[in-house]
């Protein structure tokens, strides 16, 4: 007995009841699905941000690159014989924080603890930025010994390989070249 034959056997009065029953069943299923839709956690369980956003218009990525460049520039300028050093750093990844996750949560949400001072996320680890490459430009790089010292200093400071460091002399300091 198919659905069509069953429908044909119903009287018009019973067909109305069947339609109402199907609408009620559809509404119930819709409400069940809507109620189980993933919602964001209540505001009381979300971590509170403790640091204000940066005041400058640069992104956190650029700010981290700039900070690394300035630190390298200061250290490299302190090497004897080095003058007017410029540094450019290219990051592959910025600083990333990892947090202890709540084992009760299926989403892997970070564990939040309550204390008298408010809420805090439980930190697990921090993975530092990953440097893709560094370019150093200085007139002092015309001297091969200073160029080697600069390369080794950058390798040591950032924990990167020599092929990721390029040390170039300034075009003004190299005989036979001029800056356009």
- Which of 30-44, 100-114, 123-137 ranks highest by mean pLDDT? 123-137
Question: What CATH architecture is 59-94+129-180?
Answer: 2-Layer Sandwich (3.30)
pLDDT of residue 49: 43
Q: Which of 72, 76, 84, 85 is nearest to 131 (CA)?
A: 72
Q: Give the lowest-confidence range in 62-66, 130-134, 160-164, 173-177.
A: 173-177
Name the band, by pLDDT with cuts 50, 70 and 90, for residue 44: very low
Burial readout 42-61 (b: 16 or more C-beta within 10 A, e: otherwise): eeeeebeeeeeeeeeeeeee
Q: Which of 40, 41, 46, 43 is nearest to 120 (CA)?
A: 46
pLDDT of residue 38: 61
Q: At a CB cut-off of 8 Å and minimum separation 6, what does 168 contact?
A: 135, 136, 137, 141
Q: Looking at the predicted structure, is the pLDDT value of residue 28 above 90?
A: no
Domain spans in the chain, listed from the N-terminal domain onward = 3-32, 59-94+129-180, 96-127
Asked whether the whole model's pTM tops 0.75, one would answer: no
Please report which helix (H) or strand (E) contains residue 118, including its range.
strand 118-121
Name the band, by pLDDT with cuts 50, 70 and 90, for residue 48: very low
Distance, in Å, from the CA atom of 165 to the CA atom of 159, rounded to the nearest integer, reads 11
């Amino acid at each position: 007995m198919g659905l069509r034959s069953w429908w044909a056997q119903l009287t018009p009065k019973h067909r109305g009841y069947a339609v109402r029953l199907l609408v009620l069943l559809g509404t119930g299923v819709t409400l069940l699905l809507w109620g189980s839709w993933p919602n964001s956690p209540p505001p009381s369980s979300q971590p509170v941000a403790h640091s204000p956003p940066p005041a400058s218009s640069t992104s956190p990525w650029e700010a981290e690159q700039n900070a690394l460049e300035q630190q390298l520039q200061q250290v490299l300028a302190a090497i004897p014989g080095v003058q007017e050093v410029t540094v450019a750093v290219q990051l592959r990844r910025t600083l990333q924080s990892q947090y202890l996750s709540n084992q009760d949560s299926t989403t892997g949400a970070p564990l939040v603890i309550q204390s008298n001072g408010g809420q805090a996320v439980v930190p697990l680890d921090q993975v530092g930025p990953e440097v893709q490459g560094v370019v150093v430009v200085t007139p002092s790089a015309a001297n091969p010994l200073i160029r080697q010292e600069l390369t080794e200093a950058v390798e040591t400071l950032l924990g990167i390989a020599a092929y990721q460091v390029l040390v170039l002399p300034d075009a003004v300091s190299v005989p036979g070249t001029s800056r356009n």
